[in-house]
Amino acid sequence: MTKALTPPVAKKVPHVMDMHGHQRTDNYYWMRDDKRQNDEILAHLKAENEYCEAVMQPHAVLQETLFEEMKGRIVKDDSSVPVKDGRYWYTNEVSGDEEYGRHYRALNEAMDDKQLLLDVNALAKSFEFYELADMAVSPDDDLLAYSEDTDGRRIYTIKFKDLNTGQMLEDCLVETEGEVVWANDNRTVFYVKKDLQTLLGFQVYRHVLGTPQSDDVLVYEEQDRQYYMGLGKSRDESQIYIYLSATETSDVLYLDAEQPMGEFKRLLARQEGHEYGLDKFGEHYYLLTNSDAKNFRMVRAGLDVVNDPSQWEELIAHREHVLLEGLELFESHFVITEREMGQIRFVIHNYAGESYQLGFADACYYAGVGYNPEPKSTSIRITYSSLTTPSSVYECDLATGQKTLKKQVKVLGDFKPQDYASERLHITARDGEKVPVSIVYRKSMFNKDGTNPLLQYGYGAYGYTVDPTFSSTTLSLLDRGFVYVIAHIRGSEMLGRQWYENGKKAHKENSFNDFVDVTRALVEQQYGAADKIFASGGSAGGLLMGAVMNQAPELYLGIGCHVPFLDVLTTMLDESIPLTTNEYDEWGNPNNLADYESILAYSPYDNLAAKHYPNTLVTTGLHDSQVQYWEPMKWVAKLRALKTDDNVLVFKTDMDSGHGGASGRFKSLHEKALEMAFFISLLPQQAD
């Protein structure tokens, strides 16, 4: 790579922070601008972008080749499998080089005489960024509510369309969370309003069509800012729910959907540490609860006794090594999603107590319950994907378990599943825990002789499990001899709830140790060459990258660090920043000394030191609402000032996007191509 170019050098303005008698000096605190209008800051970001472009310019042909490869595998004219909801079947279609889809409905599955609901391309044409969030059709099928974000900040505007006339209604609801739920009168909706400073949803409003938003009625406000807020409707559509969830506590309020002017009531007494999910069908509530059950158990309760746990009827008992992840109710059966030893399976139960398992044969895969809006259905839609199998939709008969493939995503070009192989390993970490690892490679280019480049991905936070799914973009690496690895480190729920709890708060460093130990073991077992190891992660996975770079920089030739959470201590001490208060149960509250010290021990920004670091690509979005742009901006500036090597450090900011990156099905491929070109260009004797 080019070494003669001069990277931007940021000025230092010491900012002293004192907490618990401990002082920290942040020389780059000045880079924070909540309004994103400071000329000096914007100029510095522009200079970083220009430097990144200049450094990568010699590899522009490679980057464009990668982009065209990835784009060329995508079917340009495609549609989703139609789904029945009420009288209509719904589908989404994409065509040509268009970035977005069109949503349709019809009275039959063949989609004859389909009706256009929304053309997202038309909605997005005036914006650099566009996200269509929620779409909700009124119970009588006459009206459509939908929400959109046009700057990537995840602040949504809700609009309404008359599906009989095609005309837009005058109603427009701004500054919302994006969700919208209809009452059964077809004229009243509920939505969550955002705090524009913290970007937390904290108020639920009721809106009656035909009235201005200023007349909307506040029906609930959450005082505890540690809770996220969402809306939903029961399976039988008789109740509207307000869902409240902190990291370790759940709460639900309900309202009769036939009485929208009524008052929301709490379903269960809020109890710290009690997490549950529930649904209602007929005369019963069904709950997945962690009450006396770390990995959850399933109970049923009558409508009048649901708030009395002593009267719950246990349908599925707690098991130490089986995590209950989901519940889907039908008239004839209910379906439980379980995870054991990291692998998902479905268990289909009838209400008489009989059940059977529905599983898959791949070494490692992902399967999930699809969209099943009709409780009267005698079949369930599930989605399936593995590292070598493109995303597939199956329809499974609830009575027999017979699976019918409805659709498998086509991968254009010369892709053949049999050319690739996947493996599931369990690697022993330094404390003896066995970390699940998913691996995929192209058979003809892998001899397990320690010569292959290897890219390891990880996340490890919030209990979120990164399952092994097919990625047509990753083929561009596999076809160049890369081995691709997902390290299912602690902080996820891959091995159950305890796996998550052992990777957060005071135990957070287990996530970093797991990732590093997996890398070392894969090199020892000759899955990858010691001098050709790469790592990548985004958001909390970006924190992972920063911590791993501090702990074991010598292991990695290159790092991809995307929308990264790097300045953990400063952010968690600032309640004005979006998401801070919600996440005390994840990272700890540094207002407490013990939590302060545990975060300080690993916070990537605070632990940068004068030493060699890997070649690093950092990306962010100026309008990121989850991790503010200044975290990677500050980290890059400090890393530049401290690192003692000549390795490449480039930083790119998308000036139009937020946490999710560029919008559209092709635009985002440019970001993938940039990272891949960055990695490939670092390999010795690599020809572009």
List residues with catalytic annotation: 539, 624, 659
- Of the candidates 585, 554, 290, 321, the one whose C-alpha atom is nearest the C-alpha of residue 434 is 321
The residues, ordered by sequence, that sit 6+ positions from 583 with a Cβ below 8 Å of its Cβ are 247, 572
Tokens encoding 4: 């003669």
Q: Are 493 and 499 in contact (CB under 8 A)?
A: yes
Q: Are 564 and 545 in contact (CB under 8 A)?
A: yes
- Of the candidates 551, 385, 531, the one whose C-alpha atom is nearest the C-alpha of residue 468 is 385
Distance, in Å, from the CA atom of 536 to the CA atom of 484, rounded to the nearest integer, reads 11
CA-based max dimension of the chain: 74
How, if at all, do strands 115-119 and 156-162 pair?
unpaired
Distance, in Å, from the CA atom of 241 to the CA atom of 597, rounded to the nearest integer, reads 39
Amino acid present at 601: A
Q: Are 548 and 515 in contact (CB under 8 A)?
A: yes
- Helix, strand, or coil (residue 506): helix
- Of the candidates 485, 456, 490, the one whose C-alpha atom is nearest the C-alpha of residue 468 is 485
For residue 224, what is the DSSP state?
A: -
The residues, ordered by sequence, that sit 6+ positions from 352 with a Cβ below 8 Å of its Cβ are none
- Of the candidates 137, 143, 103, the one whose C-alpha atom is nearest the C-alpha of residue 121 is 103
Report how far Cα 231 is from the mean position of its chain's Cα atoms.
19
Tokens encoding 283: 């005369």
The residues, ordered by sequence, that sit 6+ positions from 283 with a Cβ below 8 Å of its Cβ are 302, 303
Distance, in Å, from the CA atom of 161 to the CA atom of 572, rounded to the nearest integer, reads 41
Q: 101-112 burial by CB neighbour count: b if 16+ within 10 A, else e?
A: bbbbbbeeeebe
- Helix, strand, or coil (residue 340): strand
Amino acid present at 302: G
CB atoms within 10 A of CB 210: 10
Tokens encoding 305: 């006794």
Amino acid present at 282: G
Tokens 């030739």 map to which residue?
A: 557
Residues, the chain, total? 688
The residues, ordered by sequence, that sit 6+ positions from 296 with a Cβ below 8 Å of its Cβ are 275, 288, 289, 290, 318, 323, 324, 497
Which of left, alpha, beta for 141 (phi over 0: left; psi -120 to 50: alpha)? Answer: left
